[in-house]
A and B are shown apart, each in its own frame.
Chain A
Amino acid sequence: MANMNPKKTPMPEQDPLVRNHNFEEVTLGYTDEMAMEEAQRCLQCKHKPCVSGCPVNIRIPEFIRCITEGDLEKAYQIITSTSSLPAVCGRVCPQETQCEAKCVRGIKHEPVGIGRLERYVADWYMNHRERTPVKTERNGHRVAIVGAGPAGLTCAGDLNAMGYSVTVFEALHTAGGVLMYGIPQFRLPKEIVQKEIDLLKSNGVTIETNMVIGKVLSVDELFEMGFEAVFIGSGAGLPSFMNIPGESLVGVYSANEFLTRINLMKAYKEGYDTPIIQPKNVAVCGGGNVAMDAARSAKRLGAENVYIVYRRAEEQMPARREEIHHAKEEEIDFRLLTNPVAIHGDENGRVTEIECIRMELGEPDASGRRKPVEVEGSNFRLPVDCVVMAIGNSPNPLLRKTTEGLEANRHGCLVVNEETLQTTREGVFAGGDAVTGAATVILAMGEGKRAANSIDEYIKSKK
């Protein structure tokens, strides 16, 4: 008999006013009892709408039934038959717009906590099972992957399982992409990402770090080295600035720099050499998940006041509701309908204030969104010693600049055949943020999977 409780089983969390002083994970995960209770809320629908909401089509009701039957081993096998990074996705997917948005229980009440259950199964497996490498027979074909983010790692994992010899080339000193440098420890512990990457390696995937493709090797050279296809999953790592006066002052960071120093270089931790400003008052410009991550990180560095400065209203914020909620609980100060116009500094070139203007929502534009317009004469200043620009990223131009015949659109996104994900160069495929612009981890993984299948077909058809 299904558990007809209208609400999701709550997940325990660190107290907001404790956790905003540490970098440990905010959400603590379900206990066995909580997972059992939540799993029983699933109605096991015949038509399974939730599955179509998942970009990698995890067989959701099947794995949830395994939880109710106490067979977590089998639940894990079902999830990992289509998803490579369940401990990651269970934590960072925007389930409210994906699987959980389609859940039948969500029509009248709260949907089943699919993400929480996925995380529970993945964590259980990590803690209770020695993960034994899967030995796959090699088929004698080699594929190169550029970028070790979610798209590249998924593509690599799938091709490896099909028997390809796969080498992933990563520019940074650590694999993982945004999972390592972007998403903070308190949302996604780096140890979990590292375990997933180690498993891929023990399954046979080769990862070469410190290799900036486009500089140290060109795409053409990868083919000369004997790789028969190349997948580009180089992401969207080029930060945008607002082009307002004062952006070069000391204390103004791109969110990429701020988060890279914190997450990848561990600037917040004793014993690590990379420095970061210890701010008192911080303005984070933007309204997406990256802005929430930067603001919550700034609070954890010890800032007293952290402002989110966003030019539209809260309903229009692209960040996940859960992240906005968490940020508010942690005493992040939301300054909505507010747009930065200039940053001011002292004689040492250090930030002292951010000047903003109030906005109001005007008529809906072509996309239906009400466009914010400036309220004339409403300028005001906030005293800050640090400003973080989190207004978006676009794909890094390095690869397309160094590779003949690789076309991109006016946003710098690589042009691909929508069916096959092949770029304008034969044998070169692309997916994830390099193609879509900044999107989500699970979408990137979905594209990595699709590209793996296309590459398999492409190489087989050449024979």
Chain B
Amino acid sequence: MFPILKKRRLNDTMTLMEVEAPFIAKKAKAGQFIILRVNEFGERIPLTIADYDREAGTITIIFQKVGKTTLLLDQLEEGEKILDFIGPLGTASHLEGYKKAAVIGGGAGCAIAYPQAKALHEMGAHVDMIAGFRSQDIIILEEEMRAASDNLFLMTDDGSNGNKGFVTDALKAQIDAGADYDLVVAIGPLPMMRAVSNLTKPYGIKTIISMNPIMIDGTGMCGGCRVTVGGETKFACVDGPDFDGHLVDFDEAILRTRTYREDEARATREYNCHLMEGAKNG
């Protein structure tokens, strides 16, 4: 059992938790993830390690409430425990040796892009961080991202923060202005990572993306998370989750993430109904 030491709601849909997991905290590196199971009826879901504290023995996770399991997880309070918490899984990001990088986060992906920016920045690279959100009121980690980068470009789809546009608009503007990046890191929804990869390809800028396929064990024993990279089948849980964005078959990956869409929608609906009933009866 893994105690939740700290819980903070970042906005209406996103929550940060610091979980006591000393063995994992000792080994975790940027780009790796954990798998957790909330209770004995629960499914196993992967979440990226957003931060770690080796001395305190904690792992920070940031998750968006998108379905039953993340809603259940969000119900847990400080002092309560997560049943299973497994990691660190996946291959750590290779960020050494780059001079000038653009790190791009889309929505909840900022929680994963932020530690990458921080790692690059600490290694001495010049880091431009581009963070995209639907609107101003769901912006997260602004101060942290600002501290981890040389420039922070905050974009909103609806322009509610005065900076309207997608992350690709900001990236294109920087490239056209002669930013001369030797690395782009993009983390967020698959269509966003596809758009960034398509943008950088003609410029020949190395582009690392972080895949987020369906996973079960996360240790390479089932292949549920397989993605096609450069025509080869890779298991994201062991070979990734980081891959070369110019080689990933995004269209296939997008279709595969929809495998259980109906089951997921039903589970979420039933869970919400159950909560409503509880509220009425209680």
Contact = CB atoms under 8 A, between A and B. Distances in A.
B87 interface: yes
B203 interface: no
B233 A212 contact: no
> Interface range on chain B: under 10, 10 to 19, 20 to 34, or 35 or more?
35 or more
Nearest to B271: A273
A216 B43 contact: no
A215 interface: yes
Interface in B97-137: none
A162 interface: no
Interface string A263-288: 00100000111110100000000000
B264 A275 contact: yes
B220 A216 contact: no
Interface string A234-266: 000111010100011011011011001100010
Interface residues of A, number: 37
Contact of A260 (B216, B220, B267): B216
The CB with the most chain A CB atoms within 10 A, among B89, B224, B249, B252, is that of B224
B86 A265 contact: no
Given A273-B41, A349-B252, A398 B84 contact: no
Contact of A216 (B44, B87, B252, B260): B87
Contact of A250 (B85, B219, B259): B259
Nearest to B238: A398
B65 interface: no
Contacts of B42: 273
Contact of A248 (B87, B219, B256): B256
Interface in B165-224: 216-217, 219-224
B218 to A, nearest CB: 8
A273 B220 contact: no
The CB with the most chain A CB atoms within 10 A, among B69, B222, B264, is that of B222
A257 B37 contact: no
Interface in B52-92: 68-69, 83-89
A274 B43 contact: yes
B86 A212 contact: yes
A241 B226 CA distance: 11
Interface in A303-352: 348-349
Contacts of A215: 27, 87-89, 219
B259 A217 contact: no
A12 to B, nearest CB: 33
B258 interface: yes
A36 B27 CA distance: 57
Contacts, number: 104
A165 to B, nearest CB: 19
A216 B27 contact: yes
B260 A275 contact: yes
Nearest to A236: B221
A203 interface: no
A241 to B, nearest CB: 6
A77 interface: no
Contacts of B83: 173
Nearest to B88: A215
The CB with the most chain B CB atoms within 10 A, among A217, A239, A243, A396, is that of A239
Nearest to A274: B43
B221 A396 contact: yes
A211 interface: yes
B143 interface: no
B220 to A, nearest CB: 6
Contact of B258 (A173, A253, A348, A397): A348
Given A237-B221, A238-B221, A257-B223, A265 B44 contact: yes
Contact of A247 (B88, B217, B233, B267): B233
A170 to B, nearest CB: 10
B222 A273 contact: no
Contacts of A277: 259-260
Contact of A349 (B24, B86, B88, B256): B256
The CB with the most chain B CB atoms within 10 A, among A215, A251, A260, A396, is that of A215
B219 A273 contact: no
Interface in A398-442: 398
Contacts of B27: 215-217
Contacts of A445: none
A242 to B, nearest CB: 11
B88 A250 contact: no
A280 to B, nearest CB: 15
Contacts of B279: none
A248 to B, nearest CB: 5
Contacts of A250: 255-256, 258-259
A212 B219 contact: yes
A31 interface: no
Contacts of B277: none
Given A273-B43, A349-B256, A239 B88 contact: no
A133 B85 CA distance: 30
Contacts of B222: 239, 254, 256-257, 260
B255 A348 contact: yes
Given A241-B233, A275-B263, 18 more contacts: A210-B85, A212-B87, A212-B89, A215-B219, A216-B27, A216-B87, A248-B233, A250-B258, A256-B223, A260-B216, A260-B217, A265-B216, A273-B43, A275-B260, A275-B264, A349-B256, A396-B221, A397-B220
12 contacts: A171-B217, A173-B84, A173-B86, A215-B219, A216-B27, A237-B219, A238-B220, A239-B221, A260-B222, A265-B43, A273-B41, A397-B220
Interface of A: 171-173, 209-212, 215-217, 237-239, 241, 243, 247-248, 250-251, 253-254, 256-257, 260-261, 265, 271-275, 277, 348-349, 396-398
In order of increasing CB-CB distance, the 8 nearest A-B pairs are: A349-B255, A257-B222, A275-B263, A237-B221, A273-B43, A274-B43, A173-B84, A275-B260
Interface of B: 23-24, 27, 37, 41-44, 68-69, 83-89, 216-217, 219-224, 226, 228, 233, 238, 249, 252, 255-256, 258-260, 263-264, 267
